Structure 1
Amino acid sequence: MTVPQASDDPIGGAVVSTSDPDSSVSASPLVDLGDQHQVRSAMHRFATGVAAVCGLADGQPRGMVISRFAYVSSAPPIAAICIHAGSPSFPEGSMTWPVLRELPTLGVSILGEQNLDAARSLYRRPEERFSGVSWRADESGAVLICGSILNLQCRIRSSVRIGSHDLVLLDIVEAQEGLDSAPLLFHGDLYRVLDPVRQHSITGGE
């Protein structure tokens, strides 16, 4: 077993430990946490899934695509989403969320790789987003994207402004599994799909 070799250098840009004492690791520059563009670019190195949050407003579908979705609790079933609300560097917050947050019920669709075109469409201007997108609305007014891998009917539990985003907790009222396909991913400001040849299964953990 190789024991990591500790370093006396401070953590600022230095390698604190390595499992290979003979390796030569070039330290990358630190992210300037005062520069929101750098912070955003760095955080987008974390790959996420892609979800569509949609509802009926005045009889018309309104919705948006997001990458900040999290499963929070199973008892009771709760999910969370983060919505851009505006900041000094990115002053324009979401134009769609002020409409959606007033609706009694929201549909959250977890998108699969087959939903790539829908994800791209839902990133357009609000009046163009559902052009060519297959969707359905249930009796509650939740709008769901057809062909997604998971459909959730949700109600807003609470919302709090944290920095540049609104953190919104959602009570999951109904859940329905969709197509058994690979998820659509978001990484580095790009939509991506899994490489089936390089997938590995894991066990354990939560």
Structure 2
Amino acid sequence: MRGRDVSTQLDGVNTRALRDVLGHFCSGVTVVTAMDGDEPAGFTCQSFSALSLDPPRVLLCPSKRSTSWPTIRTAATFCINVLAAGQQGLSDRFAVSGGPKFDGVPWHPAERGAPILEGAAAWFEVALDVEHDGGDHLIAVAAMLDFGADPATEPLLFHRSRYRGIVDSSR
């Protein structure tokens, strides 16, 4: 892999200010899920993106501090659930470490078993392809196995540290 060493170019950066400026980029919110034996596991992941249509690949960037990612990354498959507007509670629930995250959360298994959360705007069943170092996060590239969406559902958005909805400015 090619790249430049840019670590010295950012010495002394104000990470709070950087986080605030990065927050101006609106993103969707996902919950990444997998089965750990008979028990479901999951975590909220805001860093998710389409990567390639041919071959079909997506990427996600879990924190190196995540306690759920080590379990999920070893599963044969996992699901990336794009949360729908109104699912802020699920985002908050899966953003914390530990605890019974799935208690009372309706879900059904994807074809290969990974949990699809009920009411999600979209979902992608994937298998981990490769993982790269990304500083305090990992860059995980996943191969697409299956996918689906509810075309009538709007996604949950996150912008400037707040949940948002879509505003149709074309009207």
Is this a same-fold pair by TM over 0.5? Answer: yes
Residues in 1 aligned to 2:70 and 2:95: alpha-carbon distance in whole angstroms:
16
Once the two structures are superposed, residues 96-127 of structure 1 have per-residue CA deviations (whole angstroms, 9 ceiling, x without a partner) of 11111111100111111032222222123322
Amino-acid identity (%): 22
Whether the 8 Å CA contact 1:62–1:126 is kept in 2: the answer is no
1-side partners of 2:109 and 2:99: how far apart? 18
Provide the rounded CA distance (Å) in 2 between the counterparts of 1:121 and 1:35: 29
Helix, strand or coil at the partner of 1:98: helix
Kindly indicate whether residue 144 of structure 2 is the aligned counterpart of residue 172 of structure 1: yes
How far residue 162 of structure 1 moved from its aligned partner, in angstroms, is 1.5
Superposed displacement of residue 35, structure 1: 2.6
The superposition leaves residues 69-98 of structure 1 with CA deviations (integer Å, 9 ceiling, x where unpaired) of: 10111111110001111xxxxxxx111111
Question: Within the alignment, does 1:65 sit opposite 2:44 as a pair?
Answer: yes
Change (3 A) 1:160 1:102: same
1:39 alignment partner, SS class: helix
Q: Count residues with an aligned counterpart.
A: 162
Question: Which one has the largest radius of gyration?
Answer: 1
| SS of 1:83 mapped into structure 2 | coil
Pairing of 1:43-192 with structure 2 (within 5 A): 43-85=22-64, 93-192=65-164
Provide the residue aligned with 2:16 in structure 1: 37
4+ residue runs of structure 1 moved beyond 4 angstroms?
none
Structure 2 unaligned runs (5+)? 1-9
Matching residue within 180, 183, 199 for 2:169? 199
Structure of greater relative contact order (alpha carbons < 8 Å, 6+ residues apart): 2
SS at match of 2:25: coil
Q: TM-score, with normalisation over the residues of structure 1?
A: 0.72
SS in structure 2 of the partner of residue 37 of structure 1: helix
Structure 1 gaps of 5+ residues are 1-30, 86-92, 202-206
CA distance in 1, matches of 2:111, 2:154: 29
